[in-house]
Chain A
Amino acid sequence: MRPFRDLPIKHKLTWLGVLTSASALILACAVFVAYDVRNFYDDMVRGAATQAKIIGYNSAATILFIDPHTATETLGALSTEPNIIAAGIYTRDSKLFASYTAAGSISTVKASLPVSFTEATDGHRFKGTYLELWQPIVFEGRAIGTIMIQTSLDAMRVRLFQYIAIACLVLLISTLGSILVSLWFQRRISRPILHLAATAESVSRDKDFSVRATTESHDEIGQLVGTFNDMLSRIQEQNQQLEKSRDELEQRVIERTAQLEAANKELEAFSYSVSHDLRAPLRSIDGFSQAVLEDYNDKLGAEGQADLRRVRAATQRMGQLIDDMLDLSRVTRAKLSREEVDLSALARSIGTELQKAEPKRQVEFTVVEGVLAEADPRLLRIVLENLLRNAWKFTGKHPEAKIEFGVLRNNGGPAYFVRDDGAGFDMTYANKLFGAFQRLHAMTEFNGTGVGLATVQRIINRHGGRVWADSEVEKGATFYFTL
């Protein structure tokens, strides 16, 4: 059976009504029965005492004249009393003088009076199935003997059973009545609670906050229902507001996406145009300069030839600038797809390429093995290529050089680095290092377009990392980056 606290509230209410009325009734019945039984006892004792007094009075002479026969006759009159099962008259010295036993009774009258009886003048006691009462027989103010009467308790037992039967009947009827009454009340009280519970459940199940609980009462349950409905209204209102702002946000996202797409398309068209249209005139300038150099070589003279060669060099440089600019914008637009990249292997292969291109240079290449990172492999190749190419370039004026790729593991995550012992730069201008088309060295010193480090920075930024440098003039430079 379930514990009481887990029962449904309507069962609780029914139990409450039934148990309350039943326990009150049981208590009342018990008190009544006890009271009545007590009265009945008293009546019985009083009746027996009266009988004893009458018989004692009538038999006083028989004791005086020592006439047990007459005494027995006197006792025989008790046969009219069905309750009296036995009686006896005892002399002064406690000897049985005369006795009476009702027909069918198994009770016996003792031959001598118990000591306790003689001690007390009169008294009574309940002994199993009967009441035993004794009384002195008095003649002219003097006790001359004792009379003893035994009264059956059957009548009282019958009465007691009747009482209990009636009490049970009453209890039964009233319990049934109280069940009906409490069912009625229970329904009144539990129906709104059950309704509220069902509403709350349906709200939490269907997420439908437009449902409302109904109430007819103005008691605490009515208040509860009211508060519950208020809460539902507020949730509904908030939901609507949330939905509205979500829709607005979505709309804004759509608008922004469209704007972004338009901007991207424009950028693409622009870079296409740059790649195609800006290069075409350069080809003409370079091509026809070459044609003039070839076809009119003798008419130009040494100075004219040198000038035209400058024109060609500048044209080619501009072509390089355009290409670098396109690469830079491509890096910004390219999709980022991260996977595990072996940076060590990448650095080694770039180093080998560089050495193959200029086999005469004395460069000691050191690569720390097993440096792995989660990054876009294509973009990371561009990063390492730029950094290592720079290291290669800026060590070009030293007869012997060292280039190193490695990783620093501090608490802020790994910082990868490329270090060289080349020309280095003045840290005063370090802030210009990563700007597009910014250069810290003259063209005559080291060539370049100033796009490499800008590209590196964009790629690192797109990975959510940071890039910085540390250097001293003629003592080399170290470029660090995180991913």
Chain B
Amino acid sequence: MSDKVILLVEDNPDDEALTLRALKKNNIQNEVVIAHDGVEALDYLFGTGAYAGRNVSILPSVALLDLKLPKIDGLEVLKQIRTDERTKLLPVVILTSSKEEQDLINGYKLGANSYIRKPVDFSQFIEAVRQLGLYWLLLNEAAPVGNR
């Protein structure tokens, strides 16, 4: 379980800290790669920019994607993930504050695997992260690497 990487795309340092805390509280000790904007997230996934030379065949088990991001927003990141052959099948969970219908619809249209709204109540958030980790890191079987 612990060799599986989680990609957290989050620009808000508070939310980053809280998400990491929630993961820790649930004893999820996987490596968490943090991208602070859309460009960084895409750089990591495609081995460009700061991540030039990274072995891109190693994909995260799940990407937790915020929608409101500097430079390139979450939906655009999702679109590029789904367009590229290498990342087409990557599990993407939208983790955002918004519960605007339009965001939900666009998120699913672009091929999000799940959509979770961050609750204000931190206890609820911990519970959400627990279930998320349980599902995507333990229960879910990712697509084999060769077929990606």
Contacts and interface: CB of A to CB of B under 8 A. Distances in A.
A271 B100 contact: yes
Nearest to B99: A275
Contacts of A11: none
Contacts of B118: 279, 283
Interface stretch (B36-44, B121-129, B138-146): B121-129
A283 B122 contact: yes
Give the bracket for the number of chain A residues in contact with chain B: 20 to 34
A323 B100 CA distance: 11
B5 to A, nearest CB: 24
Interface in B46-104: 67-68, 96-101
Give the bracket for the number of chain B residues in contact with chain A: 20 to 34
A436 interface: no
A326 interface: yes
Given A283-B14, A284-B14, A290 B122 contact: yes
Contacts of B96: 276
A316 interface: yes
A275 B21 contact: no
Interface in A266-287: 271-272, 275-277, 279-284, 286-287
Contacts, number: 64
A286 to B, nearest CB: 5
A277 B118 CA distance: 12
A152 interface: no
A275 B97 contact: yes
Nearest to A326: B99
Give chain B's interface secondary structure class. loop
A222 interface: no
A316 B121 contact: yes
A287 B100 contact: no
Contacts of B18: 283-284, 287-288, 291
Nearest to B121: A316
Contacts of A315: 120
A286 B122 contact: yes
Given A275-B100, A280-B15, A286-B122, 10 more contacts: A276-B68, A279-B97, A281-B14, A284-B15, A287-B14, A287-B122, A288-B14, A289-B122, A290-B122, A291-B21
Interface of A: 271-272, 275-277, 279-284, 286-291, 312, 315-316, 318-319, 323, 326, 330
20 contacts: A275-B98, A276-B68, A276-B96, A277-B68, A279-B97, A279-B120, A280-B14, A283-B15, A283-B18, A283-B118, A283-B120, A284-B15, A287-B18, A287-B122, A288-B18, A289-B122, A290-B122, A291-B18, A312-B121, A316-B121
